[in-house]
Amino acid sequence: MPTPSTTALTPGGQPQGAAPTARAPLPSSAFLAVMLSAVALLELAGRATGNGVLQQAAWVAMGGVVLGSLRRIGLRETYLLSLSAVLSALVLWHAKDAGKVLSGALDQASFLMAFILLLGLLHETASTSPSVAACGEYLTRQPPGRRYYVLNLGTAILAVLFNLGVVSFLVPLIQKGIEKATPGDALNPVRERRQVSALLRGFAWCVIWSPTAIAPLALVELIPGVNRLLWIEYGLAVFVLMLILGALEDRIRFRSFRPSGKRVAAPFPVIPALKFAAACAWLFGMAAIAMELSHNTVIFGLMLACPLMMLGWLAVQFGAPAPGAGTAMRARLGAILGRGVPHSAPVAITLASSGYIGVAAASLVNAPALAQLLHLDGIPQYVLLSILPPTLTVISLLALSPIMLAVFFGSLFAALPQMPADPTLIAFAISCGWALSMTFSPFATVVLMVDRVGGIAPRRLTWGWNAVFTLICAIALVPVFWVLTGGH
């Protein structure tokens, strides 16, 4: 989900597969842990019961998170909170039903904060998983002929559970692996470019199909009539297309590259891969059961499954019910809730603010008048859908968060009296814009994360290494939407 801050989305903040490092908790950590946990629990309870009082209590807890994070947040979070305050004032001044608008914005904010916190429990638990470490090692030790495919696809699969954590985990592994295999080789910069680009592209395009990506879940909440399962099917097909196009672009660009020697691939980690697949099946199986039993949405099922998944995964890691496992598991759980959860506060505030800003800003735009001005009803559907992704990509160059843009555009389309295209395709097109922005915008969070852990300058990674690929993808989406709309 796909994201909005240079702070790692992995609340623990350490590379996946590594032992957790000690962090001295700030005095506000206990208060923050309570407030953040309250947001998640109240959001779940409110969605389960439909009780508005519980939902409003979640808003109050969000306020507590902001107050408890004043010593932790940076310039970006301060800017977003200030912009939220300005937009709130404008809504109160201009909107006809300001209370309803602000309630909707707060609902979106508390949902995003709760979701990233609950999903963060999985990221934190994965940081001590030997199976995840083994899978990551395999991805970075491949011969040239299949390296692009393995890294691209493997990153996308791991990102389903670990989001940005997979970037902070794999980029250092790639760099260390290159230097270890061919120390001092003049071609090492080329190897780094190809492998990191494959990773970035896999992460970027997994958002169009990943069941845990943030943008799709936000859009499902906003746009009525979206078929999430159909969206995932579209996304998987387009992901494969972009995988093939990216591999061809890589091969053609570096066709004169002739590495010396032969690299032996690491053996496929059968048992760790099976364990990871079982973890995914367990997570989504619990989500489906929760959805069925509660007669609620798939989003609610996924949110409810995350803490249950964390407890089960920790039990497996620590060998419960072996002697001493309970004590070790309680210590690790205490570290996650007492230090890991408070550490994620800036990210939670960024996401919540982005969702709030997107809804509030969209309410200030007269969507029907804008649609009439742009003659949206007269534009062929496939043309409109093809224009949306590059439009979002260009706007992202203004350093606006993709989640903010997704919520803004989703709210605009939801406010129209009649959709100019199929709601599922509109939501899908917006998520494609998010994917494009992650390989083109130097301000994309994943790009900033690569710079942070790997020292690769954002403009070099995007405009220098991936601008051509981004253009190819944007062009390839035109026939894709033509087919999906039947040429209309």
Q: Residues 182-202: pLDDT tens digits?
A: 788 888 899 899 999 999 999
Q: Is residue 111 part of a domain?
A: yes
Q: Is residue 20 part of a domain?
A: no
Can you give the pLDDT at residue 195? Answer: 92
- Cβ atoms 131, 168 nearer than 8 A: no
Q: Is residue 14 part of a domain?
A: no
- Mean pLDDT for 380-385 is 95
Can you give the pLDDT at residue 18? Answer: 38
Can you give the pLDDT at residue 440? Answer: 94
Can you give the pLDDT at residue 2? Answer: 39
- Say yes or no to pLDDT of 161 above 80: no
Q: Is residue 79 part of a domain?
A: yes
- The number of folded domains in the chain is 1
Can you give the pLDDT at residue 384? Answer: 95
- Say yes or no to pLDDT of 331 above 90: no
pTM more than 0.85: no
Residues spanned by the domain of 67: 29-257+266-484
Following CA atoms 181, 185, 189, 190 in sequence, which dihedral angle do they give, to the nearest 10 degrees? -80
Q: What is the mean pLDDT of the chain?
A: 83
Closest by Cα among 119, 1, 36, 62 to 438: 1
User: CB atoms < 10 A from the CB of 21, how many?
Assistant: 10
Q: Which residues contact 44 (CB under 8 A, 6 or more apart)?
A: 114, 300, 303, 304
Q: Is residue 10 part of a domain?
A: no
Q: For 110, what's the count of Cα atoms within 13 Å in the CB-facing half-sphere?
A: 30
For the record, the structure tokens of 45 come out as 């309870």
pLDDT digit string, tens, across residues 348-369? 888 888 889 888 988 888 888 8
Lowest mean pLDDT among 60-64, 170-174, 326-330, 353-357: 326-330
Q: Is residue 411 part of a domain?
A: yes
For the record, the structure tokens of 77 come out as 């979070």
Q: Is residue 15 part of a domain?
A: no
* pLDDT-derived band at 54, boundaries 50, 70, 90: very high
Closest by Cα among 11, 125, 118, 120 to 58: 118
pLDDT digit string, tens, across residues 56-97? 999 999 999 999 888 888 887 888 899 999 999 999 998 788
Can you give the pLDDT at residue 403? Answer: 77
Lowest mean pLDDT among 94-103, 158-167, 410-419: 158-167
Lowest mean pLDDT among 128-132, 392-396, 456-460, 466-470: 128-132
Can you give the pLDDT at residue 483? Answer: 97
Lowest mean pLDDT among 22-31, 41-50, 176-185: 22-31
Q: Is residue 1 part of a domain?
A: no
